[in-house]
């Protein structure tokens, strides 16, 4: 009997390890899933200069900026980070027009090309959606309560060229 107990215990431990190995573990979230954002995006129908510019995914982050131009002047801008804020939690961290940062955690990924971030403590927006329709088309939208009404503002965007100002060199 004393010899049977260690053998039985070893068999149970082996069975438990095999069952644990059989369970599929979801891969951790990474910013690489949003690598298609990299580049420059012009807001369709808006004044030239209105749009977003996103860096490539590197070091666990994607960095972005946006600018809204009306009447030839910048009327709004944002700095954005997409990164992990805690193990496995992908977040969209936005700092609009110099205000303090607001964190929107990934609520769900409906398809490989659609991401919904949410912060239900924030009135407007409380949700941010990015949907990649093709290499040239992205649909972004913000949804939340604005003046007591559920409101969605859409930002259809087309990929543009990321142009830099020419460098002038002194002689």
Q: Give 123-156 pLDDT, tens digit per residue.
A: 999 999 999 999 999 999 999 999 999 999 999 9
Q: Is the pLDDT of residue 20 over 70?
A: no
Q: In this predicted structure, what is the pLDDT of residue 164? A: 76
- Extents of the domains making up the chain: 31-159
Q: Is the pLDDT of residue 17 over 80?
A: no
Would you place residue 12 in the very low, low, confident or very high pLDDT band (cuts 50, 70, 90)?
A: very low
Give the residue-averaged pLDDT of 102-117. 91
Q: In this predicted structure, what is the pLDDT of residue 111? A: 81
Fold adopted by 31-159: Lipocalin (2.40.128)
Percent share of the chain, pLDDT over 90: 71
Percent share of the chain, pLDDT over 70: 82
| DSSP letters spanning the chain | -TTHHHHHHHHHHHHHHHHHHHSPPPPPP-GGGGGGG-EEEEETTSPTT-EEEEPPPBTTEEEEEEEEEETTEEEEEEEEEEEEEETTEEEEEEEETTPPPEEEEEEEEEETTEEEEE-TTSSS-SEEEEEEEETTEEEEEEEEEETTEEEEEEEEEEEE----PPPP---
């Amino acid at each position: 009997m004393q010899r049977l107990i260690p053998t039985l215990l070893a068999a149970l431990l082996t069975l438990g390890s095999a069952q644990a190995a059989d369970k599929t573990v979801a891969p951790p979230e990474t910013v690489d899933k949003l690598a298609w954002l990299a580049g420059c995006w012009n807001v369709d129908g808006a004044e030239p200069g209105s749009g977003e510019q996103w860096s490539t995914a590197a070091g666990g982050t994607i960095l972005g900026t946006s600018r809204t131009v009306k009447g030839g002047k910048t009327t709004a801008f944002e700095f954005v980070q997409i990164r992990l804020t805690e193990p496995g939690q992908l977040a969209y961290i936005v700092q609009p027009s110099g205000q303090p940062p607001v964190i929107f955690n990934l609520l769900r990924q409906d398809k490989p090309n659609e991401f919904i971030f949410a912060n239900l403590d924030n009135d407007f927006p409380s949700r941010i959606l990015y949907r990649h329709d093709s290499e040239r088309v992205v649909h972004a939208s913000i949804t939340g309560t604005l003046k007591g009404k559920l409101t969605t503002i859409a930002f259809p965007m087309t990929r543009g060229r990321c142009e830099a100002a020419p460098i002038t060199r002194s002689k």
